[in-house]
Structure 1
Amino acid sequence: MTTTEYQVTGMTCGHCEMSIREEVAEVAGVDDIQVSHQTGRLVVSGADAIDDEAVLAAVAEAGYSAVRV
């Protein structure tokens, strides 16, 4: 299992979390998503390495910006 963590800016509520979760869930290879507006963290897990650019693009599609930590 590969786990990658991102810092997301702009999240303020549970709806923000849901928007990000829905977009990132469509990225190939993603098996688990943990996102918290309180910490600004997004943790993505999958059996194999997950494409960072695809995750960042999904976060952007949801209307937020992120960087890998």
Structure 2
Amino acid sequence: MSARTYVVRGMACGYCAGFVTEEIETIAGVTGVAVDVEAGTVTVTSEEVLDIAVIRAAVEEAGYEFVPGA
């Protein structure tokens, strides 16, 4: 089991969190997604470590900015 937290810019409300969650949940192996809109973070729990490019693509598909290395 792996849990990683990523910084995402542009989220302002629960709807934003919902869009990001929906996109990330489509990734194979993801077992949970927790979005903290106020902190601008997304914690992804998965069966194994996921490729960061896949997480970035999902966040960008939802319409938000993925901040690498933050």
For Structure 1 versus Structure 2, the TM-score category normalised by the shorter chain is: over 0.9
Aligned-pair identity (%): 36
Q: Give the paired residue count.
A: 69
- After superposing on structure 2, the runs of 4+ consecutive aligned residues of structure 1 that deviate more than 2 Å are none
1:66 CA displacement: 1.3
2:16 maps to amino acid: C
Q: Is the 8 A contact 1:11 1:37 kept in 2?
A: yes
Q: TM-score, normalised by structure 1?
A: 0.93
Any unmatched runs of 5+ in structure 1?
A: none
Q: TM-score, normalised by structure 2?
A: 0.91
2:12 maps to amino acid: T
Separation in 2, partners of 1:45, 1:52: 13
What is the match of residue 62 of structure 2?
62
CA RMSD between the two structures: 1.0
